[in-house]
Structure 1
Amino acid sequence: MIHIAICDDERSFVDSLTELIRQYALEKSEEIKITTYYDGLELVEKYDATIDLIFLDIQMKLVDGLRTAKRLRELDEKVGIIFLTTLTQHGLEGYKYQALDYIIKPIRYARLRSELDRFLSRRSREESPYIVVNNDSGKYKIMLNSLRYVETFNRNLLFHTEQENIICYRSMKKAAQELIPHGFVRCHSSYLVNLFYVKGVRKLEITLVTGEVLPISQPKRKEVMEQLTDYWGDML
């Protein structure tokens, strides 16, 4: 499924663009979720980390699209942004926020189809798997290639990523179901480790490339060694 957000303070335009995206979804047999926002502040405050692409109007009354894009890039470096504008110079200014493109309003279906085709093509080439977790602070998109390991923490889970550590309200069992198909192994009842970061195994300890050392429970050692051997064999 693709999650597309539209942020524009003209409700009639939002309705029109929503219908065009639905038309595209039917034509391409794509499952597309559409979420609408009517000002930049609403988008930032209610930001959903599952969003893949944002159509963002530059000229809005409360918080304009450029200021919104600046804040969005602090929340999500990966989300695609296509600016909507009536003035070419505004769209060009938006490229400093890594915009995919800009579209002069009003939007014709042929142009929308071209942009979505291009986005989906790039997404299929570059897409990295991720999971979305939540806590009291909000939702977080965690790219699996940056996640070193997961451990239990005060009846919750602590996700150790390259950027930060994130607490998540989820069971270890559920996390294992999501992560094991993506190169993770449960080395201990309290730990899930990304095999990509494993430097070596000695007795009942895993050493990561970062120097961190994680425990292996005796019952799980055989499984860990088998999974690691298979993984390293695929990598060689």
Structure 2
Amino acid sequence: MLNIALCDDTNVELARVERFTLEYPFTKVEVDTFGSGQKLLQYVAKNKTEYNIYLLDIEMADMDGISLAKKVREFDNKAVIIFVTNYDEYMPDVFKVQTFDYILKPVNKETLFEVLQRADHYLHSSHSYFEFSYERNKLIINEDEIMYFEKSGRAAHIYTETKEYKCNQTTSQILAQLDPMAFTQIHASYIINLKYVVGIKCENIMMKRIVNGEIQDTYLELPISRKYKKDFKQKMINYMRKRF
């Protein structure tokens, strides 16, 4: 079940998002609505209520959504925070409070359902998550969705099924966070998720190629260095045994 707190000082928008949220079809949902950040915080403190998702409007008069999120983070580091905003100019700020995502107004049902479904999966999944910072933004993504990392100078590019991110971590820092049964280094520049491996061809690892969420007929080929080949083969065997 998802316990969701909605906070927006515009009654019409608050009612609209509440209606859409209650129509979420994949998991039972309970929703409490608040017309201000102060009311939300007072209610939580008085009733010792725990929410696993906070849907917060950014542009509120008494306390803006980002300030409210910072207050929430003082007593809850695990809840999913999703911002609703009229402007995408807030994006650099919202990720400073460990934000899951943000939705632009006017909120449409399909976008809301997609974000809630990812949040639902995040909250109830036993999978690990990769946390990183880039340009002072704090981000978190499901390890399962990461296809591979590519180091380029000081930065590392993170390729998922749908997006590309960057982080400022060393190879050793990246590996320290990842599940060693699922990820392995194959080259000075590459760390891969064994889930996406199709095979090995000469000096290259064949990876699934995914475009717009669809698996392609062609493969992505990443180089494997000789020093990593033996370890890769053993890890691949162990991974397949664990999987099947």
Aligned counterparts of 1:220 and 1:161: Cα–Cα separation in 2: 23
Task: Give the 5 Å matches for 1:34-113.
Answer: 40-41=58-59, 42-43=64-65, 52-54=79-81, 68=85, 97-98=112-113
Unaligned runs of 5+ in 2: 8-33, 71-76, 102-106, 210-218
Deviation at 1:189, TM superposition (A): 2.1
Match of 2:202 in 1: 203
Deviation at 1:145, TM superposition (A): 1.8
Deviation at 1:43, TM superposition (A): 3.3
Detail structure 1 runs of 4+ shifted over 4 Å in the superposition: 4-8, 34-37, 44-48, 67-71, 93-96
Aligned counterparts of 1:47 and 1:128: Cα–Cα separation in 2: 25
Unaligned runs of 5+ in 1: 26-31, 57-64, 81-92, 101-118
Aligned counterparts of 2:175 and 2:194: Cα–Cα separation in 1: 13
Q: 1:137 to 1:230 in 2, by over 3 A?
A: same
Q: 1:47 to 1:213 in 2, by over 3 A?
A: farther
Aligned counterparts of 2:38 and 2:78: Cα–Cα separation in 1: 20
Q: 1:139 to 1:224 in 2, by over 3 A?
A: same
TM superposition score normalised by structure 2: 0.56
Q: 1:157 to 1:234 in 2, by over 3 A?
A: same
Task: Give the 5 Å matches for 1:205-224.
Answer: 205-210=204-209, 211-224=219-232
| Per-residue Cα deviation, 1:181-200 (whole angstroms, up to 9, x for no partner) | 35001112221100000000
Larger mean CA deviation between 224-233 and 212-221 belongs to 212-221
> For 1:17, which of 44, 49, 63 is the aligned residue?
44
TM superposition score normalised by structure 1: 0.58
Match of 2:174 in 1: 175
